[in-house]
Structure 1
Amino acid sequence: MSAFSAIGEEREIDRDEYTPTVEPQATWCPGCGDFGVLKSLKQALPEVGRTPEETLLVTGIGCSGKLNSYLDSYGFHTLHGRALPVARAAALANPELEVIAAGGDGDGYGIGGNHFVHTARENHDMTYIVFNNEIFGLTKGQTSPTSPKGHKSKTQPHGSAKTPIRPLSMALTSGASFVARTAAVNPNQARDILVQAMEHDGFAHVDFLTQCPTWNKDARQYVPYTDINDSEDYEFDPTNRADAQELMRETEDKLYEGEVLTGIYYREDDRPSYQEEKKQLGELPEEPLAERYFDEDYDWERSYDRFIDQHK
């Protein structure tokens, strides 16, 4: 059975299918929020109806990069900050795959920030999970793009002089068509948000608050939290860009004041994805490019042939 004959197969899916047999137990530090991401993702994928053969998880470097070691699906461990371009290529080559990219706040908002902005702008059809623990964890506790101003670390021993990045606002401004925040301490909400993110056609950004008890002991455990979609104190329309922008700013201010707001902030369901735009322009084949690897009779095209023909 190939990756393509498995896609679209209708059968009941058990979350245990996503537990690998080689290294079934994750080795993150006790109390790490990354366990919550893994649990929520294992619960969400069967609800979406995706099997391990239909799923690709692309990760970056860092504690979050170990996620695809603990999820039994197709996986690609990339260089630091480079998960998104690899995920984009996979989604274009095989649109039937459920493509999920994951990385930490340093990986996604710092080193890979340029890729984040342009993947959101182009609205590639994928889900991007960012483990946001306000620290570089794997490299032992350096200040990250989301560390609060004044935070003391090995790289900022006198306290960071930098204002932290605003990931939700940045995603919206860049053009993401689905923006949400959840937390490892709220696995049920996290599961529901991941389901909606994966079902969304377009770029879905999920800022996932993950506590780091080893290298960021000063950070809050992201409790108590308020679900903006259920709370009567926050009545807004997630399809209204202005409403979303205003609430995102309030959310990003309050996080560093000790109040945690989570939920789905924005969704634009009628906007075509990058893949759909390319098809409309005739620049993306109807037959997935990756399927040609399984066609023994296919006459391979090479990009340089087209350029040579133009100059003959």
Structure 2
Amino acid sequence: MSTFSAIDQDREIDREEFTPGVEPQPTWCPGCGDFAVLKALKGAMADIGRSPEEVLTVTGIGCSSKLNSYFGSYGFHTIHGRPLPVARAAKLANPDLEVVAAGGDGDGYGIGANHFLHSARENHDMTYIVFNNEIFGLTKGQTSPTSPMGHTSKTQPSGNAKSPIRPLSLALTAGATYVARTAATNPRQAQEIVAEAIEHDGFAHIDFLTQCPTWNKDAKSYVPYTDVQDSDEYDFDVSDHGEANAMMRTVEDKLYEGEILTGRFYVEDGRPSYGQKKREQGEMPAEPLAQRYFEDGEWERSIDFVKKHT
């Protein structure tokens, strides 16, 4: 079965269809939060009725980026910090494909931060999951962009002298149309948020708190947590940019004070994605390029279908 014949097939999906036969058991450390992301992603795909042939996962480098080794769909393992440009290209070539990019906080908020900003700004229709454990795990415990000030590590033995990045505020400011945070310790909410993000039309960013019991014992397990949608203490409009921004600042401050706030923080519906705009302008064909080449094998140059500048 191809990606094209599988898309929009009406059948019930079992989450175990996303368990690969070659490497079904992840080799993450016991207690790692990455297991929760894998579980949430499998459950979300089954909930929304996507089959493995309809999905592409694109990852960077790091513990988190082993995701597509353990997730049975099409997969592409890129170099450090580069999952988003590859994911964007795949989505533009085949807009019917469900594209999920993933990486760690070092991968996504460090070396890949520029791609993060512009993917959000251009509102590419995809989901971006950042496994945020506030440390570089695969390389054994160096300070990352989300490590709190004062945190000691191999690279900051006297304590981190830098303020941590604010990923939620950054995503909102850059132009993401869906912004959320969840945690490995809240599997019900995590699966719901991942499913919502996948179904969202536009760039959906999930900051997924994933504890690292091996190299970041300071972060514990991100418990207890508060779901802001279930709390009477936090009342804001997720569709209001200003209210969302204020709430995100609160959430990001409280994380390093020991209070974990999770939930949906911004949702904007109706804004056209980058691919939609390009097709409306006549700069991309309505029919997916990938399907065109798959079916008849006749390759075209962009100059053949893009309007000439006059």
- Tell me the equivalent position of 2:112: 112
The alignment partner of 1:292 has SS state of helix
Is the CA contact (8 Å cut-off) linking 1:106 and 1:136 kept in structure 2? yes
1:123 deviates by 0.2
Change (3 A) 1:306 1:206: closer
Give the unaligned 5+ runs of structure 1: none
Is the CA contact (8 Å cut-off) linking 1:103 and 1:131 kept in structure 2? yes
Is the CA contact (8 Å cut-off) linking 2:168 and 2:179 kept in structure 1? yes
Listed as ranges, the matches of 1:1-312 within 5 Å are 1-296=1-296, 299-303=298-302
The alignment partner of 2:139 has SS state of coil
What does the per-residue CA deviation read over 1:98-150, in whole Å, with 9 as the maximum and x for residues that have no partner?
Answer: 00000000000001000000000000000000000000000000000000001
C-alpha distance in 2, partners of 1:199/1:217?
Answer: 35
% same residue: 71
Query: Bigger CA drift: 122-131 or 230-239?
Result: 230-239
Aligned residues: 308
Is the CA contact (8 Å cut-off) linking 1:168 and 1:180 kept in structure 2? yes
1:220 deviates by 2.9
What does the per-residue CA deviation read over 1:130-185, in whole Å, with 9 as the maximum and x for residues that have no partner?
Answer: 00000000000000000000111001111110000000000000000000000000
Give the unaligned 5+ runs of structure 2: none
C-alpha distance in 2, partners of 1:295/1:53?
Answer: 17
C-alpha distance in 2, partners of 1:183/1:300?
Answer: 45
TM-score by length of 2: 0.97
The alignment partner of 1:91 has SS state of helix
TM-score by length of 1: 0.96
Q: Which amino acid aligns with 1:78?
A: T
Query: Bigger CA drift: 253-262 or 220-229?
Result: 220-229
Q: Which amino acid aligns with 1:90?
A: A
The alignment partner of 1:32 has SS state of coil
C-alpha distance in 2, partners of 1:9/1:103?
Answer: 29
1:305 deviates by 7.4
1:279 deviates by 1.4
1:292 deviates by 1.9
C-alpha distance in 1, partners of 2:156/2:251?
Answer: 25
C-alpha distance in 2, partners of 1:52/1:295?
Answer: 20
Is the CA contact (8 Å cut-off) linking 1:220 and 1:258 kept in structure 2? no
The alignment partner of 1:88 has SS state of helix
The alignment partner of 1:239 has SS state of coil
